[in-house]
A and B are shown apart, each in its own frame.
Chain A
Amino acid sequence: MKSFLVYFTMQLKRIVKIFPTILCTTLLLCSVLGLGVAMLLQADGEDERQLKVSVGLVGELDTYMGYDINVMLDVLSSRFGAEFVSVTEKEARQRIHNGTMSAYVLLPEDLVENISMGKNDKPITYVTSDGKRGISGIVMDEVVTVIAELITCPQSSIFGMQNYLRDVGREDEIWQATEELNIIYITALIDIYKMGDREIIGMANQVSTAGYYACSVVVIFLIMSGLNCSSLFSGNKMGLCKLLVSKGQKVGNQVLGEYLAYFLLLLTFFCMVIAVVLGAASAGLFSVPELGEMNLGEMLLFVLQFIVVVGVISALQFLVYEMVEGVVSSILVQFILAVALGYIGGCFYPLSFMPEGLQLLGGLSPVGAALKYADLCLVQEAAWKELGLLVIYLVLFLLLTIWIRKRRVENEAAL
């Protein structure tokens, strides 16, 4: 026990000796990650603005119905995800080719006549390019359906009302009735957003978008931190390992002593990152609703729960250090592993965005389980299943590291 403590203390000393270098690299990493997140958030904001896709309207817009369409679009323009422009079909096609227009809606020539005859058998055509399919295409389909309903239904009722009044000889009331219906129609459009409430339930694992980003950034930071200590732990000197074994310090004790020191280092970084995140949140730079709802005790509990994630990620990185010899190889492998696990674990995109098979794989991966556990802890939900999985991973990684170290010592000694 004494010799284990001495060895553990030596590992801490090693870390302390090169801590300034590790800290500088970590700060650099933090800056890059912070910049990445800031750009991501800014891009998100711009995306929202850019999401207002341009849609052309081709057809009879100089009729009475065209007047109504223009009124509707003027009233609703700020509320649609699309911007509607009156264009000719040729111009619309040209703009689609140029990429300045996403799609156009072709209103059939005799649409007005058909509606006035009480028919609606001439469909409104939606034209787009192949490249606009996908999510934006689906959104546009929905927009066109809504527009078609908004245009044809009120117009049908107005023309129907006008025909009825003509049939019953009350032609002098037509314009007043039309005006009244138009007012009802426009009022309804103005109040369209009062017709229902929307609730955003978050991006993944029940957390808000900000909460998801906060947990993801911390997890990404942790998995990237493996790059910093490659010079310290990769390519372990077999001379020392052999001498330690000959003096009764078993391989398991060696690995545990080194791992604990590395875990403490990562825990220090984690505390620094959490302090920055909480500091930035309290300074109002961004808000994580879940953190805002926590009292001090709950926040402390969340930080303590997160330590399991630090433990698993440090064990995984330690396993890589043991497997890969050479600093450069270790840095490369740590980086590739961090990106790959971050991706399939849902750190860059929520798992729900991924194909079903990848969702399952990602959820079971160490980083996926860690992220889900962190998310559930953030919303203060029970996460026993994820905790169990993480503990299994932790034990598995440490056992694998010990096994590999034993094999390496044996190989070295026998050759």
Chain B
Amino acid sequence: MYQTGIEIAGIKKNYKSKTILKDITFQAKRGSCVGLLGGNGSGKSTLLSIMAGVLKSDAGSFLYAGEDLLQKKVLAEKVIGYVPQGNPLMEELSAWDNLRLWYSKEELCRELESGVLKMLGVDEFIKLPVRKMSGGMKKRLSIGCCVANNPEILLLDEPSAALDVVCKERIYSYLETYKSKGGIIILATHDTQEIELCDKCYILKDGRLKEYQYDGDIHHLAGCL
């Protein structure tokens, strides 16, 4: 196992008599981004859900600093930030109220002034109700909610799907900064722009993971999925 990273080893998952994941194993170093590529229904979201502790695996481990995060739930809650595909926001409430679910008042003020929320530009629409926000604003706010308490591992499920270029750039910029500070990013994606952020890519197909070197050839990538 990498002493300064994470190791996923032998993760298996069956669901409704269907094998979704077969012996998934990979590693990620600190300050790196690992991309999980795959077609729809290939199991990317399932793998991220297991890593985030939302879903139980049938077998396997998720090692971090010598601890199995699949067993040590309290530690996992602290070190993992999970950005699910759907936005985790309450539409009736403002950005501030949504963030208050995850941050204390002091933390929130600090992060809005000079921290991650400032970097994501959430301070620009802090009083706006979620229902009046654009897709990009919602996604930035979602990431802001999920990275409360500065987690060391960030699991993102298609973070920039259906967003405009400006918004994507803002999110990528944040992710680059997060990486540079030693954070580990696991990214499930279809997006070629997002793939370029990744230091290492894996393709998930038929429940198995295979390393993939993206060289900008989208046709080759499509053929592999």
Q: List residues of chain A with CB under 8 Å of any chain B CB.
A: 6-7, 10, 13-14, 17-18, 232, 237-240, 242-248, 409-410, 413-415
Contacts and interface: CB of A to CB of B under 8 A. Distances in A.
B74 A248 contact: yes
A14 B92 contact: yes
Contacts of A242: 49, 52, 54, 82, 84, 86, 88
Nearest to A17: B92
Contacts of B45: 413, 415
A414 B82 contact: no
Interface string B18-54: 0010000000000000000000010001100100111
A247 B76 CA distance: 8
Interface residues of B, number: 35
B176 interface: no
B68 interface: no
B150 interface: no
A18 B90 CA distance: 12
A245 B53 contact: yes
A414 B77 contact: no
B120 to A, nearest CB: 16
Give chain B's interface secondary structure class.
mixed
Given A10-B97, A246-B82, A247-B77, A413 B49 contact: yes
Contact of B88 (A17, A243, A413, A414): A243
Contacts of B188: none
A330 to B, nearest CB: 15
B82 A237 contact: no
30 contacts: A6-B100, A6-B101, A7-B101, A10-B101, A13-B92, A13-B93, A13-B97, A14-B92, A14-B93, A17-B129, A18-B92, A232-B92, A237-B90, A239-B85, A242-B52, A242-B86, A242-B88, A243-B88, A243-B145, A245-B53, A246-B76, A248-B73, A410-B15, A413-B45, A413-B46, A413-B49, A414-B15, A414-B20, A414-B55, A415-B46
Nearest to B87: A239
Given A239-B89, A413-B54, A414-B20, 20 more contacts: A6-B101, A7-B101, A10-B90, A13-B92, A13-B97, A14-B92, A17-B92, A17-B93, A237-B89, A239-B84, A239-B87, A240-B90, A242-B82, A245-B52, A245-B54, A246-B76, A413-B45, A413-B49, A414-B15, A415-B45
Given A409-B54, A414-B49, A246 B80 contact: yes
A414 B18 CA distance: 11
Given A413-B54, A414-B46, A414-B49, A239 B73 contact: no
B87 A237 contact: yes
B13 A414 contact: yes
B142 interface: yes
For A18, A238, A246, A414, the residue with the greatest tally of chain B CB atoms inside 10 Å of its CB is A246
Contact of A246 (B15, B41, B77): B77
Contacts of B49: 242, 413-414
